A and B are shown apart, each in its own frame.
Chain A
Amino acid sequence: MPGTKEIKRRIKSVKNTKKITKAMELVAASKMKRAVNATLRSRLYAEYSWDILTSIAKNVDLPAQAGAITHPLLCERNEKERKDKVLLLLITSNRGLCGAYNSQVIKKSLALLSPKKVFGVDIITIGKKGDVAMRRIGEKVLASFFELSDNVTLREISPISDMIINEYNSGNYDKVFVAYTDFVSALTQRPNIKQVLPISKTELKELISFPDKGRTEEGLHSDSTPISPLSRGTDYLFEGDKNKFIKTLAEKLTKMQIYQMILESNASEQSSRMLAMKNASDASSEMMDDLTLVFNKARQSNITREISEISAGMASVS
């Protein structure tokens, strides 16, 4: 049995660890709240921009028809333009200590990489953790972004989205996917892979409808913006160049999508960190209890031994 002094030292160190984990838990909790709020706020904008886009070109999600207003960001590549290559944007965190958050999303993207024979995958990473993982297994990493702050602004996203749109427009890739972590609730996060380009209506709708808790069908439109069926059929008066308009709108939408995914990942990161830290705090409390018990036992046995030594000494003297 280790000496009482040593046990005492261990208790002290566990106590310090607990203080740290507790503090990290609280920080993560407040950061999470902020991230969730940001996601909610940006949703309205995304919803409106989609609304406008569908109003302009009611058949955006159909393949290019004669006369239909369309844009490369909105329609699938033709057979002959196919390059059989896709681009993957992997969103992870910069820092660890957040449970399985990073490993889950990395694992998910590895699943996309494995049927490699069919199409090549190039990667852009956000966050150090994903970057390290991808480089380790020798994937081609086009670019890595580390410098995003905790509360991301749309401005910080611009270089990322611009790069993705450029790469896509130059015809290097057929599709662009994003691997991110879906924030379902504070307790559940789900790693997910979504297609961002070409913009597909169903995926976008799904993303926009995000924090309707429970993700039920009726939850989809229970939002503060009722999408009126009346306005769908209305003919709009346009001012300005329609094609240019669609282009800017499509680019904005892409940016918004990426922005939202980053926000969601952020919220997920913070909540999984919160959970991990909570577990750590709990574990250290438990450990402290155990150690205190061991300490008391050791102390008690010391006393007992001393007493028996003294009485044995007395017995031998008398």
Chain B
Amino acid sequence: MSKQLKLRIVTPESLVLDELVDQVSIPTILGEITILSDHIPLITEVASGDIVAVEKGEDIPFAVVGGFLEVKKNEEGITEVAILADFAEHVSNLSEEKIKEAKEKAEEMRQQMINNQSVDFEHFKAELERSLTRVKIADKWRVRKYRK
């Protein structure tokens, strides 16, 4: 079996994942990258989208919105991938209900922006991106198979 890498997904609120996986694909600001074991040390910014870790042929998908990524080798020679996300959640946590909520929220915010010019744009943008990403990623993974 090929070597595994240690994947850690951390958000300000919690530690989302801490596991050994075979490979991981991450959306970065310059396009999607896939990291395998023994990747060279890398630091880059994470864009919005889905992180897909693969372990024993099974996909483990996460929705992610913005953040950083660090790849390095720890002292035991295991490649460590740390993802510092502003927001990250396992796709199975994105239940239908939450998605509906997110959609409604996005719509509501859009309304707010139309009605009120003095809306806090930065805040609005972040919120909207978060909601939209969740919806998009959940839609994408609805029909695919993945590990819970």
Does the CB pair B70–A238 fall under 8 Å? no
Does the CB pair B74–A231 fall under 8 Å? yes
* B64 interfacial contact with A, CB 8 Å: no
Does the CB pair A45–B11 fall under 8 Å? yes
* A51 interfacial contact with B, CB 8 Å: yes
Against A, the Cβ 8 Å flags (1 = close, 0 = not) of B13-30 are 111000000000000111
* B82 interfacial contact with A, CB 8 Å: yes
- Distance (whole angstroms) from the CB of A39 to the closest CB of chain B: 11
CB closest residue in chain A, given B15: A44
* B40 interfacial contact with A, CB 8 Å: yes
Known: A49-B68, A56-B43, A239-B42; 6 extra A-B contacts, CB below 8 A, are A158-B123, A159-B120, A226-B75, A230-B75, A234-B73, A236-B72
Give chain A residues whose Cβ lies under 8 Å from the Cβ of B95. none
Whether A41 touches B14, Cβ cut-off 8 Å, given contacts A49-B68, A230-B75, A237-B41, is: yes
In the complex the two chains form, what is the Cα distance from A259 to B84 in whole Å?
16
Does the CB pair B75–A229 fall under 8 Å? yes
Interface size band for B: 20 to 34
In the complex the two chains form, what is the Cα distance from A228 to B33 in whole Å?
25
CB closest residue in chain B, given A49: B84
Q: Which of B14, B43, B74, B86 contacts A52 (CB 8 A)?
A: B43
A/B pair count, beta carbons within 8 Å: 87
Residues on B lying within 8 angstroms of A by beta carbon are 8, 10-15, 28-30, 40-45, 68, 70, 72-75, 82, 84, 86, 120, 122-123
Q: Which of B8, B12, B29 contacts A240 (CB 8 A)?
A: B29
In the complex the two chains form, what is the Cα distance from A42 to B40 in whole Å?
28
**Secondary structure class of chain A's binding surface, majority of residues:** helix
Residues on A lying within 8 angstroms of B by beta carbon are 38, 41-42, 44-45, 48-49, 51-52, 55-56, 153-154, 158-159, 162, 226, 228-231, 234-240, 245, 248-249, 256, 259
CB closest residue in chain A, given B40: A237
Give chain B residues whose Cβ lies under 8 Å from the Cβ of A248. 45
Give chain A residues whose Cβ lies under 8 Å from the Cβ of B42. 236-239
Does the CB pair A239–B44 fall under 8 Å? yes
Give chain B residues whose Cβ lies under 8 Å from the Cβ of A236. 41-43, 70, 72
Does the CB pair B13–A52 fall under 8 Å? no
Give chain A residues whose Cβ lies under 8 Å from the Cβ of B45. 239-240, 245, 248
